[in-house]
Amino acid sequence: MHKHLLAAVAATSLAIPALAHADHHEDPVSGMADRALDGDTIAWDFVEGITTEVGPRQPGTPAEARGRAWAMDWLNARGFANVADEPFPMQTWVRGEEEARVTAPFAQGMHITALGNTASTGPEGIEAEVVYFPSYADLVAAPEGSLAGKIAFISHDMRPTQDGSGYGFAGPARWTGPGVAASKGAVATVIRSIGTENHRTPHTGGTSFPDGVEPTPAGALSNPDADNLERMFARAQGRPVTMHLTLTPQFLGETMSGNVVGEITGTDPSLPPVLVACHLDSWDLGTGAIDDAAGCGIVSAAALNVAEAGQPLRTIRVLMAGAEETGLWGSEAYSAAHIDEPIAVGLESDFGADRIWRFESNFRESNPDLHARLAQAIARFGVANSTNVATGGADINISRDQGGAIIDLQQDGTRYFELHHTPDDTLDKIDPAQLRQNVAVWTQVVGLLANEPGDILGE
Amino acid sequence: MHKHLLAAVAATSLAIPALAHADHHEDPVSGMADRALDGDTIAWDFVEGITTEVGPRQPGTPAEARGRAWAMDWLNARGFANVADEPFPMQTWVRGEEEARVTAPFAQGMHITALGNTASTGPEGIEAEVVYFPSYADLVAAPEGSLAGKIAFISHDMRPTQDGSGYGFAGPARWTGPGVAASKGAVATVIRSIGTENHRTPHTGGTSFPDGVEPTPAGALSNPDADNLERMFARAQGRPVTMHLTLTPQFLGETMSGNVVGEITGTDPSLPPVLVACHLDSWDLGTGAIDDAAGCGIVSAAALNVAEAGQPLRTIRVLMAGAEETGLWGSEAYSAAHIDEPIAVGLESDFGADRIWRFESNFRESNPDLHARLAQAIARFGVANSTNVATGGADINISRDQGGAIIDLQQDGTRYFELHHTPDDTLDKIDPAQLRQNVAVWTQVVGLLANEPGDILGE
């Protein structure tokens, strides 16, 4: 099928009318974006390569270092300039043995995974009565000291949303739930996975404990196991529900991670660069395909496509941040190291590989012409304009710290939390057509930004 | 919503026109079947209860014995007569530690589970070069002795089908693949899971080795891991692919299992009974919801519904067979013990909980009137008639051994092999509406059969 026809079909399948663009096929960047929609192979090559040849890339570990070496080889092979690994120290946590068993009134094993930054039960494990909290609010409302010697079970559940806002609603059960439970005396916490599917693959993720509260063991049960534990409470008829829990993660202390960078050099090195970011590390359970090899593939493919359309005015810098998952270590280190080097605009891709559906900037009022030109240029790929103010994500701390221009190319998150932080984050979950739509939109946006002579923020 | 309206809606939603049945609301069995379609709670109660209060029920183990005790309590509480546990000896195999790691050219862990009746690698595991066979036929074609010292990888894949026939196509890779590989010298075998989904939950299941071939270790990789291993071969550029495999299952020798039976007593005990069967054991990875607590719930609910419509002419015997998963031990033991007691007709439910779509008997030519009456009576539930000859399944060996009448109420298997023999075989996978359709169809069929005075087979 001819590419223009396929592009039209793709736009139709996204339920967005194809808009007339009389000029864009004469504009090299737009032509590259169009070709990416049905032809990009670069992003897939990155994701397939790193998930197959490296696999999981847990922050601060040798696996993450192998990922950096692999990515640098790939960037060099693809012709990026100034490819480097910028090292930084971090505090490293790694998973150990993981087992949960309900011991009474109904004996049954459960699938669990430890949450990042939690403590060990020791190899013998612990056994305690479980206290059931249907929601995070119920836990917060529990009296001080009421959980002494108990395991808290927070069963706060999550529903899928296109914009990922379900994570903001359900996330506190993981982010701060174990700390709240520990502050009330709990010896451990188990949560319902922060995820929207029903597989026996629990969702890991980081948590943190308040100052003065000693970390406890904490883990996520898979959703079917959380359902089962709820039913056990319903059928216990007042008998205590007890659980044996073995979680033996370790804090390794300080180890090294690093940020991988590479550049498409612009014709005017005096202009601040366009920063396109992703993170290279992943949780250890999956192979880090959607989180976030896809993002690194997308931003790299876009940078290469823009270069192929003709050397851009501004330098495009790719930042593949390290150690995002256990605390944004790489993004913070990058900002600290480069805070005095102005960035023209920052963008990140870190929400899977499903299609971009909404465009947001933080300069719609201060630079309305540029905002409108960008939004109009990607409307043909099915991307809606928005009055939301872009705030960026985990990988572009530097743009927030500098108070610089930010663009958010929002991806469809409906499926994202089925896979997020689970063993199921693997290559097969990526839809090649939607991945290419990401590259097309990014090519268009980055191409316009990198060839924009004026200040992006417009102040 | 009124039940008749809901029944009509349900029939419509199954894309089958509701047929006019002027008389069935005056017939107590048909009325019970209609009420079951929107109102049955018995089957769900069985499945929820045993999956929550017992969980996995591995053949020959104390967990299976707890399942029998639970089921007998349930049958007694529901008013079944002659509830008993009929013990039999069996050879028992249990799972141990399970780990697979590709060690070169790309180091990465993989999700694996041991296949039933396979040998142990020992706790230190084994490491060997992997030989890739895209299909079972490729393995069969490999020269004798060509796998000496190697691990065979059989990547034969499976696609979903409504009638489950994909299992017959893909199954040999598991059923006999490890034995074929061992006979050619392989030290171990890994197969692509015999399953149709892409989760990191490998599918277990039994295998067997030919006479004179010593069992080897063998396991199933999850589908995403098998994909990854295939890509590693594609990217290895001739370098050997090596794997470290630790699988420590154990043969426990002879232990006891049992068949649980219970009856709805008929008014004429001189007539052979209707046998309705399922199996009570399950693989250890899931909670055995679709395989096969659902079947036991369906046949029990149907028997109770028929009894509620009025004491039937014939006795209805429920057989909850033990130890199906590791070799049909219970079904064979039941046949051996009862071969001299004629069964009027045998039916089993052992293919999940999705809707019944096709009716088959082995007496369509010998007793066409009864076949037609049965088919016509369940057409309103969206069940098609068929010229296929019913052969029964794993749990009714006795009907085949006696050469007796058999009916197959074929369930939709499109989703079944997403869950079959995995940790994901849990209660949440059961669609309550489709479970009720099963109970409605079974109530109708068992009600007609149990009140049929003449010989079912018609010879």
Angstroms from B203 CA to nearest CA on chain A: 13
pLDDT above 60 for A22: no
Q: Which residues of B touch A52 (CB under 8 A)?
A: 106, 228, 231-232, 235
pLDDT at residue B10 in the model: 39
Q: Is B457 part of a structural domain of the chain?
A: no
Residue B352's closest CA among B394, B413, B311, B407?
B413
Q: Which residues of B touch A48 (CB under 8 A)?
A: 231
Q: Is A457 part of a structural domain of the chain?
A: no
Contacts of A396 (CB under 8 A, 6+ apart): A275, A277, A319, A331, A346, A347, A348, A406
B427 touches A: beta carbon within 8 Å = yes
B235 touches A: beta carbon within 8 Å = yes
* Alpha-carbon distance values, A297 to A62, A83, A85, A319, A399 (Å): 22, 16, 17, 12, 21
Q: Which residues of B touch A228 (CB under 8 A)?
A: 51-52, 55, 287, 426-427
* A381-393 per-position pLDDT tens digit: 999 999 999 999 9
Q: Are strands A405-411 and A112-114 parallel, antiparallel or unpaired?
A: unpaired
* CATH code assigned at A387: 3.40.630.10
Between A52, A198, A426, which is nearest B428 by CB? A198
B105: preceding bond cis by omega (within 30 degrees): yes
CA atoms lying within 13 Å on the CB side of residue A203: 29
Task: List the single best residue of A57, A102, A110, A200 to mutate versus B (max B Cβ within 10 A).
Answer: A200
Number of A:B CB contacts under 8 A?
94
Q: Residue A177 — pLDDT band, cuts 50, 70, 90?
A: very high
pLDDT at residue B1 in the model: 30
pLDDT above 90 for A29: yes
A62 touches B: beta carbon within 8 Å = no
Task: Find residues 240-299 of chain A whose CB sits inside 8 Å of chain B.
Answer: 286-287
Last residue within a domain, chosen from B248, B272, B301: B248
Q: Is B63 part of a structural domain of the chain?
A: yes
Comparing A168-172, A421-425, B240-244, the range with the smallest average pLDDT is A168-172
Percent over 70 (pLDDT), chain A:
94
Do B347 and B438 fall within a single domain?
yes
Q: Is B455 part of a structural domain of the chain?
A: no
Q: Residue A24 — pLDDT band, cuts 50, 70, 90?
A: very low
Do A120 and A36 fall within a single domain?
no
**At A277, is the secondary structure helix, strand, or coil?**
strand
Between A56, A109, A423, which is nearest B111 by CB? A423
Do A134 and A220 fall within a single domain?
yes
Do A201 and A119 fall within a single domain?
yes
Q: Is A382 part of a structural domain of the chain?
A: yes
Do B244 and B258 fall within a single domain?
no
For A230-239, what is the mean pLDDT?
97
pLDDT at residue B7 in the model: 38
B341 touches A: beta carbon within 8 Å = no
Do B57 and B79 fall within a single domain?
yes
CB contact under 8 A, A52 and B429: no
Instruction: Please give the Cα distance from A218 to A228 (Å, whole number).
Output: 19
Do B287 and B217 fall within a single domain?
no
Q: Which residues of A touch B201 (CB under 8 A)?
A: 199-201
Do A325 and A194 fall within a single domain?
no
Q: Residue A340 — pLDDT band, cuts 50, 70, 90?
A: very high
pLDDT at residue A7 in the model: 38
Instruction: Please give the Cα distance from B352 to B429 (Å, whole number).
Output: 10
Which structural domain range is residue A288 located in? 3-92+253-450
CB contact under 8 A, B429 and A198: yes
Do B271 and B208 fall within a single domain?
no
For A74-95, what is the mean pLDDT?
98
Q: Is B409 part of a structural domain of the chain?
A: yes
| Tally of domains within chain B | 2
CB contact under 8 A, B53 and A106: yes
Q: Which residues of A touch B111 (CB under 8 A)?
A: 423
Mean pLDDT, chain A, rounded, equals: 94
Q: Is B289 part of a structural domain of the chain?
A: yes
Angstroms from A207 CA to nearest CA on chain B: 24
Task: List the single best residue of A228, A233, A243, A419 to mutate versus B (max B Cβ within 10 A).
Answer: A228
Instruction: Please give the Cα distance from B8 to A363 (Å, whole number).
Output: 57
Q: How many residues does chain B have?
A: 459
Do A281 and A428 fall within a single domain?
yes
Instruction: Please give the Cα distance from A397 to A346 (Å, whole number).
Output: 9
Do B333 and B228 fall within a single domain?
no
Instruction: Please give the Cα distance from A38 to A4 (Å, whole number).
Output: 9
Last residue within a domain, chosen from A192, A223, A248: A248
Query: Which amino acid does the sequence have at A16?
Result: I
- A290: DSSP letter: I
Between B223, B235, B422, which is nearest A53 by CB? B235
Q: Is A179 part of a structural domain of the chain?
A: yes
B88 touches A: beta carbon within 8 Å = no
What burial class does residue A231 get, using C-beta atoms within 10 Å of its C-beta: 0-12 exposed, 13-18 middle, 19+ buried?
Answer: middle
* CATH code assigned at A152: 3.50.30.30
Q: Which residues of A touch B107 (CB under 8 A)?
A: 55
Do B268 and B409 fall within a single domain?
yes
Last residue within a domain, chosen from B248, B274, B298: B248
CB contact under 8 A, B423 and A200: yes
Ranges under pLDDT 70 in chain B:
1-26, 459
For A151-177, what is the mean pLDDT?
95
Between B49, B52, B198, which is nearest A428 by CB? B198
Helix (H) or strand (E) run with residue B330 in it: helix B329-338
